[in-house]
Amino acid sequence: MPRTRSLAWAELKFGLIAVFAMVMAGLLIFAVGGAGGFFWQTYSLKVRFANVAGLMAGSPVRVAGVEVGSVTDVELTPTGVVVVFTVNEDMKPLVTDKSIATIGSISLLGEGAVDLTARPDGVPIPPGGFVNSGVAEGSIAQLTTEATSGLAEAKALVEDLRTGKGTMGKLFTDEALYRELEAMVNASERVASAIANGKGTAGKFANDPRLYDEMHKSVANLNAITTKLRNGEGSLGQLMNDPALAKSLNATSTNLETMTGRLNRGEGTAGKLLNDDALYKKIDGMTTRLDSVLQQLNDGQGTAGLLLRDKQLYENMNQTVSEMKSLIAEIKKDPKKYLNVKVSIF
């Protein structure tokens, strides 16, 4: 009997060691093979996708390309697909409410993975919470969405063309516009043909070498003139390059500005004439009276008017003046005949 009890304890001890080794081996394999670590070192999160593209339980979960967990369940719901996954506890500061979960791939065969963006500037998501979902750059879902959008835009564009909207639509549907465009193209062809044949100014310019030579000479002359100007030659060159002349012009402009300022302020005769209403009224009245006098002279009124208009009066006055000249001449010849002075003394 004692021998039997000794064998039973040995067998029990061997069994306990074997079970312990198997448990440790299983934990080690789980810790090494599953990136999530032990169950007490992970926490669970969720994300909702419209299409998981073949994602399944056991697919890896990555943060910035580093595997930090795995997918535990994929649930189909009326609003989409809910993916449940576990992440290492030390990822809490990185997986926040600003992180985005997308469907990625780990091989060319399309095996799926959940990719999370690290956003330490957000608030950590509590266990069991939802991560915001998005579409990965270059993914099939993104390409499908963009292709669908592009097809819709192309369809709308074709529909607009068919209904004659826009310039291209009118070009496809409006016969009058088409005929005008055809006429414009024909006119352009005729113009190009005329230029090629040397007709018109543009044709001569394109085909006549003499015209080119003349333009070349004109450009050369213009370059020579600009060179002289830069060198200060001639009046214009001195004007552009002579500081003394520039100062003189500046002084002249300053004096002109001073003079215009005085005129605006009403200083001097010209300034008063520009700004003094009383002086203006006096000059206006004087010109009015002068017009009246000139009108009277033209009408033959008054002595001066008669002198200007009456030919007989002019001839009489002319005759009187002639007779006066003759009398003065005779007096000068014989003064005693006309000047007889008698002196009496009492």
Domain range annotation of the chain:
1-33, 42-136, 174-207, 276-335
Q: What pLDDT sits at residue 28? A: 62
167-185: b or e for each residue (b if 16 or more CB lie within 10 Å)?
eebeeeeeeeeeeeeeeee
Comparing 73 with 334, which gets the higher pLDDT? 73
Q: What pLDDT sits at residue 107? A: 65
Q: What pLDDT sits at residue 34? A: 47
**What confidence tens digit (pLDDT) does each residue in 286-327 have?**
888 888 777 777 777 777 776 666 677 777 777 888 888 887
CATH topology of domain 42-136: Elongation Factor Tu (Ef-tu); domain 3 (2.40.30)
Q: What pLDDT sits at residue 65? A: 81
80 and 50 Cβ atoms separated by less than 8 Å:
yes
- DSSP 3-state of 204: helix
103 and 49 Cβ atoms separated by less than 8 Å:
yes
Written as one letter, the residue type at 342 is: K
Site of tokens 């005929």: 179
Of the candidates 174, 153, 152, the one whose C-alpha atom is nearest the C-alpha of residue 162 is 174
306: which residues sit within 8 A by CB, 6+ positions away?
A: 300, 313
- DSSP 3-state of 266: coil
The encoded tokens of residue 342 equal 């008698």
45 and 130 Cβ atoms separated by less than 8 Å:
yes
In eight-state DSSP terms, residue 125 is P
* pTM score, whole prediction: 0.36
Of the candidates 203, 177, 204, the one whose C-alpha atom is nearest the C-alpha of residue 190 is 203
| Res 336 pLDDT > 50 | yes
